[in-house]
Amino acid sequence: MTTMRRRGTYLRHAALVGVSAIMLVPFYWVLKTAVTNENIYAYPPRLLPERPHLFNFVDVWYFIPFPRYLLNSVIVSAIVVACNIAFNAMAGYALTKNFPGKRAVLLLFLSCMLIPFQATIIPAYLITSKLGLLNSYVGLAFPLLSTIVCIFVFKAAFEAVPHSLVDAARIDGLSEWRIIVRVLMPLSKAAIATNVVLAFIWSWNAFLWPLIITREPTMQTLPLGLARFLSYLEDTTGALYAFAVMVLAPSIFVFLMAQREFIRGLTSGATKG
């Protein structure tokens, strides 16, 4: 029995190692290409990098307006993350209360979850253009400023805070704003982390929307810069892959730092009830 079980364990490990290896191959291949300058079209390709170096990364920094793309991406992500925390916490707090029309608001939120943003691009472009926000940071960030999943994450976190604490704060004369900022938010750190991680990943990776509403390179974000770089150089240079590594690094870092919050946020819409 035990030997059979042990053999089962080995088989499982073998299968999972295989799966992991396949999942990791693309990471390895892009890293390898990013640190080499050999003729990448030679056949057979080398499996190990020959004389690895980091010059490609330097090239990316200087040959294209990488710092500009980076600045734009950081600004847009910062707006998105900050607004998400404020807006979602406010809406989540409102939903913990009873008010006429609450069912309608809930239903609206839940049905909005079924509308993919990509299905709205034509009117969204026209609306943004009417608002005069084309080619602006606010326009880039606007559709991402609030996220339904995160509203529900905040709602659940606030509902978990003991009522007595909120009541005590109210008796002490704290206003509703202060109750959120001073009492509820400090007790909902996990929800905040979830929100930060999700909002960052979504804004950092967004491509279609910036592609539609930015016309000038000075307003473009990193994904657009990467796509432009690709169209200039095709697949001919290690610098392209160095660029890819540079934009992937932050999302991988954020994910590894906050794995639990990230997964919790993604599945929280799915697992309740």
Partner 1 sequence: MMPATGEAAGRQGGWWQRKRTRDLALIACFLLPSLTVFFLYRVLPLGWNVLLSVQYWSPLKPARWAGLDHYEEMLLYDDVFWQSLTNTLIFIGAAPFAIALALGIALLVNSDLKGAAVYRSIVFLSYPLMTVAVGIIWRWMYDERGGIINFALRASGLITKPIPFLQSFDWALPSVIVAEVWQVLGFYMIIILTGLQSIPQHLYEAASIDGAPRWAQFWRITLPMLKPSLFLCAVVGILNSFTSFDLVYIMTNGGPGHATELLITYIYKSGFGQTKFDYAAALTVVQFILLLALTYLANRAAGGNAGSLEHR
Site for partner 1 in 79-118 (CB under 8 A): 83, 86-88, 90-91, 93-94, 97, 99-100, 105, 107-112, 114-118
* Residue from 7, 19, 63, 257 binding partner 1 (CB under 8 A): 19
Q: Which of 57, 61, 137, 255 lies at the binding interface for partner 1 (CB under 8 A)?
A: 255
For residues 156-185, which are near partner 1 according to CB under 8 A? Answer: 176
Q: Which is nearer to partner 1, 24 or 160 (CB)?
A: 24
d(CA 60, CA 103): 51
**96 φ, ψ (degrees, to nearest 5):** -80, -10
What element of type H or E holds 261? helix 259-271
User: Which element (helix H / strand E) includes 228?
Assistant: helix 222-233
> Among residue numbers 180 through 209, which ones bind partner 1 (CB under 8 A)?
201, 204-205, 207-208
**Residue 127 found at the interface with partner 1 (CB under 8 A):** yes
Name which of 165 and 252 has its Cβ closer to partner 1: 252
Among 75, 125, 138, 169, binds partner 1 (CB under 8 A): 125
Q: Measure Cα distances from 257 to 3, 72, 109, 191, 263 in Å.
A: 38, 24, 30, 15, 12
In the complex, least distance from residue 168 CB atom to partner 1, rounded to whole angstroms: 18
Rule CB under 8 A: say whether 10 interacts with partner 1: no
The whole-angstrom separation of Cα 230 and Cα 243 is 10
- Does position 273 bind partner 1 by CB under 8 A? yes
Q: Which stretches within 36-179 are classed as H helix?
A: 55-63, 66-95, 102-112, 121-130, 137-141, 148-159, 163-171, 176-178
Q: Min. distance of Cβ 10 from partner 1 in angstroms? A: 11
Answer for which of 54, 181, 230, 257 binds partner 1 (CB under 8 A) is 230
Q: Which is nearer to partner 1, 75 or 145 (CB)?
A: 145
Site string for partner 1, 207-226 (x = CB under 8 A): xx--xx---------xx--x
Q: How far apart are the first and last CA of the chain?
A: 39
Query: How far is CA 68 from each of CA 42, 72, 78, 116, 218, rounded to the nearest angstrom?
Result: 34, 6, 15, 30, 7
Q: Tell me which of 6, 7, 9, 165 binds partner 1, using CB under 8 A.
A: 9
**Length of the chain measured in residues:** 273
**Which residue, 68 or 170, is less far from partner 1 as judged by CB?**
170
